[in-house]
Structure 1
Amino acid sequence: MDGGRRLLRPVKEAFDGFQNQAPVYAGIAQIAPAPAFLADYGRRGSVRRATTPGDRLSRIFAAQGVGLFAAAALFAGVGLYGSWLGGEYSAFVAVEGSVPDYFARVAGVGIRTVTISGAHALTQQEIIAVTGIGPKNSLPFLDVQKVRARLKALPLVKDASISKLYPGRVVIDIEERKPFALWQRDGVVKIVAVDGTPIDTYADQRFAALPLVVGTGANAQLGEYTALLDAAGDLRPRIKAGILVAQRRWTLQMDNQVEVALPEVDAAAALARLAQFQREDHVIDKDILSIDLRVPGRMFVRLTENAAAARAAALAPKSKTKGART
């Protein structure tokens, strides 16, 4: 022992004992609990970084950016409202179209081409006028459903489809109702389809060559009338109209205003007989008003007043001569 009552050991023995001793930090690691904030970090699975000056600046600028955008939107709205009150907005729309259409055109998606297919009776100008498509429109803001509804409102249009082809083309495909005949009733002439459905009021010379039927229910008997036209042979070009009488029989009006009354039964045969008379004697071209073929095998002709007077004058001397001889 030394003077301090401490046990003296050899240096080597002491060093060996120090080496065999468990590390002090290991024991601390096993016994000391983890700090609360580290445990909380493990549970949350996220990293809490210390806020740096750069982060604080980014947050400030982001908040200020939102504020600036909101302020700009507010000022723009106030400006537009003021322009609207002052009439500037209305004047702008009148010249440039709506604001969305204007900016879409500036972006390069204005309507530059309109392609129309399937139209025969309608002209391209008529279709464009109905659709309302013009230089103020743009492709993104074109309402194709409204355009289609406008086209289908036309009596001549059975169906229509509208397609957008970017950057600036509109394709319109039209399916028309085909005009088949003209139908006159109560002084009004309408264009009708093959099934007799009225399409539109007749107001265009483009349809003047269509067959014309007159009278109540005549549009529903177009098939019967066209069969008569087929049976007319050489007379067909001279038939201008078919008048349905009492919804039972037809009277034909020729190009020289002569009327031909056909029978209710076997009308096609009677018309074929008239065609033969015309070839042999040109009966329709004589000075007559009408021909009646309603009696089978007979033909009655009504003369004009001049023709009747001339005939009466021609027959009068013969009558007097016969009377004198008797």
Structure 2
Amino acid sequence: MRKLTAKFLPGKKKAAPRKRRRTRRPDRRRTLGLFLTTMLFGVLLGFGWAWWSGWAMTARAELASWAVEKSIASGLIVRKIEIEGYAETRRKTILDALGVQAGDPILSLDPAKAQAALEALPWVQTAAVERHLPDRIRLHLTEREPLALWQSNGKLALIDVEGVVIQRGKLARFRTLPVVIGGSAPKKAQALFATLGREPELAARVATATLIGRRRWNLRLKNGVEIYLPEEGLATAWATLSEYERLEGITQHKVTVVDLRLEGRLVVRIPQIKTKPGHRPERET
């Protein structure tokens, strides 16, 4: 009879039940407290900076005042003001803009501020301000160059080569300058007169220049003859007219208009003939 042997097999372990993690909700009170703390810190920092800035500015002003007082005691005062390059601007006007006069502390001069004030004067184009210790200030000015009179809304103004208005009144001594007409004429006048100046004899006879459609010019000579200039090829057309003028004196005859708008053509209009009303003869050259 067999002997029975009992064998015990290890049983499977049951998995331990997992603990559920509780999802934490953000602590609103803590977040709000942090936000308020940050804001309070920012406000305090802002007030601190404002106070410090005001104190710093005050201290700087007091230091500057102290330096000026010490400079006076040391003999750093203005005794001489030299001005170069002015003809149209009065000396008193320049000194008023400078803001410093003889006897003032030389350190009280702010060169950058003085330069801006001088360049704001109508005739002054550029200004250089130099402070030479212990007692000398030197100014070098460049005044604007008159180019023409600009007619706008029936009124005249003097303009320079950059199209800047120099003055609007007291223009009698500038009556010999040509007159430009048109809203954009001042800015375009320099280029026009530079081209016309290539033929100086003819250019000297120009009385007015009217900008047409911001694209081209019509000229009126001093004898009343009108010149219609082209939009393109202005220099060539002007040289052609100058050549005809030298050879034939074309604008000296009984003509009213010389039309140069068509490339390679010169059209001359003469006064209307009474026997043929409505007919305007033209001669092409």
Alignment of 1:86-235 (within 5 A): 110-119=77-86, 122=89, 124-135=91-102, 137-174=104-141, 182-186=149-153, 187-194=155-162, 196=163, 198-203=164-169, 212-222=179-189, 224-226=191-193, 228-232=195-199, 234-235=201-202
Provide closer, same or farther for how the CA distance between residues 209 and 102 of structure 1 changes in structure 2, counting only shifts above 3 A.
Answer: farther
Q: By percentage of residues, which structure has more helix?
A: 1
**Residues in 2 aligned to 1:215 and 1:118: alpha-carbon distance in whole angstroms:** 32
Residues 34-84 of structure 1: per-residue CA shift (max 9 Å, x gap): xxxxxxxxxxxxxxxxxxxxxxxxxxxxxxxxxxxxxxxxxxxxxxxxxxx
CA distance in 2, matches of 1:156, 1:110: 29
Whether the 8 Å contact between 2:83 and 2:140 is mirrored in structure 1 is yes
Given candidates 278, 283, 292, the residue that maps to 2:245 is: 278
TM-score, L = length of structure 2: 0.54
Task: Give the residue type in structure 2 aligned to 1:299.
Answer: V
Native 8 Å contact 2:150 2:157 kept in 1: yes
Distance 1:113 1:259, change over 3 A: same
Tell me the C-alpha RMSD between the 2 structures. Answer: 4.1
| Post-superposition offset of 1:245 | 0.9
- CA offset digits 1:208-246 (Å, max 9, x no partner): 676653212223334641353145353122123322111
Q: Tell whether the 8 Å contact from 1:181 to 1:191 is kept in structure 2 after alignment.
A: yes
The TM-score, its normalising length taken from structure 1, stands at 0.49
Query: Is contact 2:145-2:161 (8 Å) kept?
Result: yes
Question: What is the deviation of 1:290?
Answer: 3.5
The yes-or-no answer on 1:300 pairing with 2:268 is yes
Letter of the structure 2 residue corresponding to residue 201 of structure 1: Q
What do residues 245-291 of structure 1 show as CA deviations (whole Å, max 9, x unaligned)?
A: 11122111212232212233433333333223322333323455433
2:127–2:142 contact (8 Å) kept in structure 1: yes
- Could you list the runs of 5+ residues in structure 2 that have no partner in the other structure? 1-67, 277-285
CA contact (8 A) 1:177 1:199 kept: no
The answer to whether residue 220 in structure 2 is matched with residue 257 in structure 1 is: no
Distance 1:104 1:208, change over 3 A: farther
- Tell me the secondary structure at the aligned position of residue 154 of structure 1: coil
AA matched with 2:259:
D
Q: 1:291 and 2:245 equivalent? A: no
SS at match of 2:204: helix
Mind listing any 5+ residue stretches in structure 1 that lack a counterpart? Answer: 1-100, 316-326
Q: 1:170 to 1:265 in 2, by over 3 A?
A: closer
Shift of the 229–164 alpha-carbon distance from structure 1 to 2, 3 Å rule, reads: same
Letter of the 1:301 counterpart: R
Q: In 2 relative to 1, CA 133–224 (structure 1 residues): closer, same or farther, beyond 3 Å?
A: closer
The correspondence of residues 22-61 of structure 1 with structure 2, limited to 5 A, is: none
What code does the residue aligned with 1:239 have?
Answer: V
Deviation per residue, 1:104-149 (Å, 9 max, x gap): 8898555331112354664545422432444563434445454333
Are the equivalent residues in 1 in contact too, given 2:185–2:211 (CA < 8 A)? Answer: yes
**Aligned twin of 1:8:** none
For the 8 Å contact 1:185–1:214, the answer to whether it is kept is yes
| SS of alignment partner, residue 116 of structure 1 | strand
Are the aligned partners of 1:260 and 1:292 in contact in 2 as well (CA < 8 Å)? yes
What one-letter code is carried by the residue in structure 2 that aligns with 1:297? Answer: R
Q: Give SS of 2:121's match.
A: coil
Quote the Cα distance in structure 2 between the aligned partners of 1:146 and 1:170: 14
Residue-by-residue CA offset, 1:19-42 (whole Å, 9 max, x unaligned): xxxxxxxxxxxxxxxxxxxxxxxx
Structure 1 CA distance for aligned equivalents of residues 254 and 145 of structure 2: 39
CA distance in 2, matches of 1:123, 1:143: 21
